[in-house]
Amino acid sequence: MALRHSRLLRTAYRTVKVERPRLIPQRFSDHIQVEGPRERHIKEKAVADFEQWLAGRPAGYVVFSDGSKTDTDTAGYGFAVFHHGQLLDWGSGQLGQREVFDAEIHGALAGLKAAMQQNSRHEPITVCMDNTSVIDCIGVQAWRALYSIQPE
């Protein structure tokens, strides 16, 4: 079967070869604390450490987020924003046929936006999530979408 040339292929053959751009991982800030996979504790120890941290009433805002997927392959997320132990805001949403990874990111982003809208004094915001794949991505590479977050 002969390859049928389209305008796109003809144009691609006529362009000058250029070096592919290198993807350089970017960070949001050098102050973001993310544990690497080698530094993570076993689950029971991590739970105990987290409960101790939470009992100390961390400064600023704390966002809890989670994502899930149903048996029908629809994904959803939820978040809750706390300030000094008081619930300030919460929300949830459906994403349709997506992966849990997408739902985790959407939940964290929605919670972060909600916290930023409340945060007139520019206090620290801590986002708590349980998906280590998402945590690893945030720690290694910054997504363009998160750069554009501005309080509305």
Q: What is the pLDDT of residues 44-72, one digit of tens each?
A: 887 888 888 888 877 899 999 999 998 88
Domains of the chain (ranges; CATH) run 7-147 (3.30.420)
pTM of the model: 0.64
Is the pLDDT reported for residue 147 higher than 50? no
Single-letter code of the amino acid located at 101: F
Strand 86-96 with 75-83, pairing: antiparallel
Average pLDDT over residues 64-83: 92
**61 sits in which H/E element:** strand 61-69
Helix H or strand E encompassing 76: strand 75-83
The first and second tokens of residue 11, run together, are 């144009």
Amino acid found at 2 = A
- Residue 55 phi, psi (nearest 5): -65, -25
Q: What distance in Å separates the CA atoms of residue 68 and residue 130, rounded to the nearest whole number?
A: 11
Instruction: Identify the pLDDT of residue 87.
Output: 94
- Give the rounded percent of residues in the chain with a pLDDT score beyond 90: 30
